[in-house]
Structure 1
Amino acid sequence: MIKIEVCANSVQDCIVAQSEGADRIELISAGYLGGLTPTITVLDMALEKGVEIPIMTMVRPRGGGFCYTEIEKEQMYREAKELLEHGAKGIVFGFLTEDRKIDWEETTKMIELCKSYEAESVFHRAFDCSNEPEYNIQHLIELGCTRVLTSGLGTNVEKGADLLKLLQEKFGDKIEILAGAGISTENIKSIIKNTGVTQVHGTFKKYGVDQTTTGMDVSYRYTDKGDYEVVNPIELAKAVNIVRNINKKEECND
C-alpha cells in the first residue's frame, strides 16, 4: 500500500495533513531552509489538537549542510530525546563528515537513541549529498535504520528516478525508501509507477499572505510567491485521492 507523508511547518499543517488523509507527518520548522528542529510546543499542541497519525520530527540545528560541531551535535541529541519524550514517533536526521561521507559514529548513536524509545529512525536527504548510495544504504540497513528520505541523489525525484528504482528494487525489502523532493499531484502517479516506491513525501504547499511582511523600505519576504508556506488542503486531497486509486487497483489485482 502506498503511503503519503506530509512535511508540516505548524500545528495547523499537522491538522490539515490528518484531515485530508495523509498517513504520516514530518514536523519541521523553517521549511525555506530545508527544515530545522521544531519546537516542543508545536509537537505538544499538534498532539493536544487530536493529531493521531505518526509524527516524525526533524532534528537539525541550522541551515546549510550536515557537518556539525560538537556543540551542535550535543544540541541535536538533546532535542531528539526531548521530542521523543513528548510523543514524537521518530527522528529525522542526517550526519555527514567534511568529505561528504556519512558520519557513521553519530548516525549509529542517533539510531540507537531512537531504538531506546522504540521509535523510528529516518536518515534524511543528507543522503543525497553523499555519492555512495548503495554502500550507504547497506550500512544503514545493518545499523537498523527504519527509513531513508531521498530524491535518488537528483535535484528532484524526477531526475533521481533511476536511482530510486534501483534502491527500491535492491533494498526496499530491508529498509523503507521514502521518495521526496518535488513530489506533486502532477507527477506522484508516474513516480510511483516508474520507481516502484511505496512511500512519497511532499509539502503540497501554497503560500499565505501577511500584509505586515513588507514596510516602506523593509521586507521579510524570502520568495516572490508569497509570505509564508502552509500545506494546501486542496493539493493534498488530490494527492491522497490519486494514491487511494492506485491502492484500490493493487487490491483488485491481488
Structure 2
Amino acid sequence: MKGILEVCANGYESALAAQNGGAKRVEFCDNLAEGGTTPSYGQIAFAKKNLSIEVWPIIRPRGGDFLYSDIEFELMKEDIKSFKSLNCEGIVIGILKTDGSVDKERTAELIELAKPMKVAFHRAFDMSNDMEKALEDLIDLGIVRVLTSGGASSAIGGAENLGKLVEQANGRIEIMPGAGVNKDNLKTLISKTGAVNYHASAKQFVKSKMLYRNTDTKMGSIDDEYQYELTSTDVVMELVGIINKEINNI
C-alpha cells in the first residue's frame, strides 16, 4: 500500500490547496476550532464539481461530545443522504454511548444508509473507554479507516499507542494518525507507528485585507478575527514529500 496524505480541509479553498499540493483525499469539515462539524451542501457540491481528489465530508452536527440526541441523529442521516446524492467517495462519522463504547447500532444504521459510500470513523475513537475493544467493534462493522491520535492530545504524544493499534489492526482496517501532524514530527511518526497514511490540516494563518477594523467588538470567541486559517499548498507538498521519501521510496 502506498502512503498518502489526507488533508482536513475547512472549505473549498483549503481543499483545492490540498489537491494542488499532492494530497489524495480531503476530510471536509467546518468549524475546525471545535474539532470539525458538518460542512454545507454548497461547499461539497462545489468541491465535487471542481476537484479530482476524493471528498469525504465529516458528519458531525455539533461540537462537544459524541453522544447524540434522536434529533441530532436524524440530522446526521439527512446530511448523509445529501452527500450521497453528490457522489462523495465516503463520509466520516463517530458515535459513542454514554459509557464511552462505540454505538454499534447507530453506526451500523449510518453505514447502511451511506452505501455505496465508504465510511471512516473520526477521533471520537480517541474518546472511547477502550480503544482495543473499539477497534474490533469498528472492524466488525465494516469501517474502512480510523483517524486517531492514539488517545493522546497529539499523534506524536500517542505514537506508542498508535503503533500498537497498527499491529492490532493487522491490515483489517486502516489506522491513520492525526492531530498535530507536521513536517517536524512526521518522519518520527512513520518510524514509530508503522502507519502508512497520515492526516493533517497543513494550515497557515491568512491576514485579513480589511482596511477598516472595529476593535471594540467581536463576532465570536476567536482572539483575532482579522485573520483566518487556510490549508497551504506548500505545507501539503512538504508533508507529501516526506511520505514519498519515507514510505513510497520515490
> How would you bin the TM-score normalised by the shorter chain?
over 0.9
8 Å CA contact 1:56, 1:92 repeated in 2: yes
**Partners of 1:58 and 1:89 in 2: CA distance:** 12
Q: Which letter maps to 1:155?
A: S
Q: Could you say what secondary structure the match of 2:8 adopts? A: strand
Aligned partners of 1:213 and 1:246: how far apart in 2?
A: 47
Shift of 1:125: 0.3
Contact 2:60–2:76 at 8 Å: present in 1 too? Answer: yes
For residues 207 and 194 of structure 2, the distance between their equivalents in structure 1, rounded to whole angstroms, comes to: 38
Equivalent in the alignment of 1:6: 7
Supply the AA of the counterpart residue of 1:189. K
In the other structure, the counterpart of 1:15 is 16
1:219 paired with 2:218, answer yes
Q: Give the AA of the match of 2:13.
A: Q
1:150 has 2:148 as partner: yes
The percent of aligned pairs where both chains have the same amino acid is: 34
Answer whether contact 1:207 1:226 (CA < 8 A) is retained: no
Q: What is the CA deviation profile of residues 129-162 of structure 1, one whole-angstrom value per residue up to 9, with x for unaligned ones?
A: 1121111111111111111111000110011111
8 A Cα contact 1:128 1:152, kept in partner: yes
RMSD, matched Cα: 1.7
1:248 Cα deviation (Å)?
Answer: 4.2
Counterparts of 1:213 and 1:23 in 2: how far apart (Å)?
Answer: 39
Mark the CA change 1:148 to 1:212 in structure 2 (over 3 Å): closer, same or farther: farther
Query: What residue in structure 1 maps to residue 43 of structure 2?
Result: 42
What is the aligned partner in structure 2 of residue 127 from structure 1? 125
- The alpha-carbon distance between structure 1 residues 107 and 212, as it changes in their structure 2 partners (threshold 3 A), is farther
User: Residue 168 of structure 1 corresponds to which residue in structure 2?
Assistant: 166
Q: Secondary structure at the match of 1:148?
A: strand
Q: Secondary structure at the match of 1:208?
A: strand
Deviation at 1:224? Answer: 4.7
The Cα of 1:225 is off from its aligned counterpart by 9.4
Offset of residue 233 of structure 1: 1.5
- Give 1:193 deviation, angstroms: 1.1
Shift, 1:112, TM fit: 1.9
Q: Structure 2: give runs of 5+ residues left out of the alignment.
A: none
The answer to whether structure 1 residue 232 and structure 2 residue 235 are counterparts is no
Aligned mates of 2:129, 2:90 — CA distance in 1: 26
Residue 52 (structure 2) pairs with residue 67 (structure 1): no
Tell me which amino acid in the other structure corresponds to 1:70. Answer: D
User: Is the Cα contact below 8 Å between 1:59 and 1:79 reproduced in 2?
Assistant: yes
Aligned to 2:103: 103
Secondary structure at 2:92 match in 1: strand
Q: Distance in 1 between matches of 2:101 and 2:213?
A: 41
Matched residue, 2:200: 202
Q: Is the 8 A contact 2:48 2:55 kept in 1?
A: no
